[in-house]
Amino acid sequence: MHRIALLVILLVLLVATLGCASDTLSGVDEPDFGEVVRHYRTLEANKALALATEANGRWAYGARFASGSRAEAIEDAVEACRTKARSGGMRARCILFAIENEPAPDTVGGCNAGRIPSRRCAMQRRHQGMLTRPQ
């Protein structure tokens, strides 16, 4: 009986651990940001994607999905991006790329007004259409 109880406890812990699997994604200099965006589109709601780019072409991203709220997703995506960028030796600022499956409006406005670095805006323009295109 003791053995069965221990087995049940271990099974419950395993299920709880798998159920709490990370709902944050991040990366540095992956082969294609377009692939990141395509994958992001498929993630559950209450999601956000942040991106940092450097003048030398390096980039990092952080995404959060299935969050308790949209605001939480935004905060966590930017933090995941910052953490990944720092671990990759980058100093670029992480800026929202998308909220849900729409381009981040403040980023689009910042690019249009010249407040965001041109390399970062180029990535925004090049890939934001993937957010709303049918798969």
Give the model confidence (pLDDT) of 68-115 as tens digits.
999 999 999 999 999 999 999 999 999 999 999 999 999 999 999 999
**65 inside domain:** yes
**50 inside domain:** yes
Domain that holds residue 113: 22-131
Mean pLDDT of the 15-30 span? 59
**Pairwise pLDDT comparison (31 vs 11), residue with the higher score:** 31
The mean of the pLDDT values for the chain is 84
Give the model's confidence band at 3: pLDDT under 50 very low, under 70 low, under 90 confident, else very high: low
Residue 18 above 80 pLDDT?
no
C-beta separation of 23 from 64 below 8 A: yes
**56 inside domain:** yes
**7 inside domain:** no
**13 inside domain:** no
**95 inside domain:** yes
Q: How many domains does the chain divide into?
A: 1
Task: Give the span between the Cα atoms of 67 and 88, in whole angstroms.
Answer: 25
Residue 5 above 80 pLDDT?
no
Q: Is the pTM of this model over 0.95?
A: no
Q: Is 89 left (phi over 0), alpha (psi -120 to 50) or beta?
A: left
DSSP 3-state percent helix, strand, coil across the chain (nearest 5): 50, 20, 35
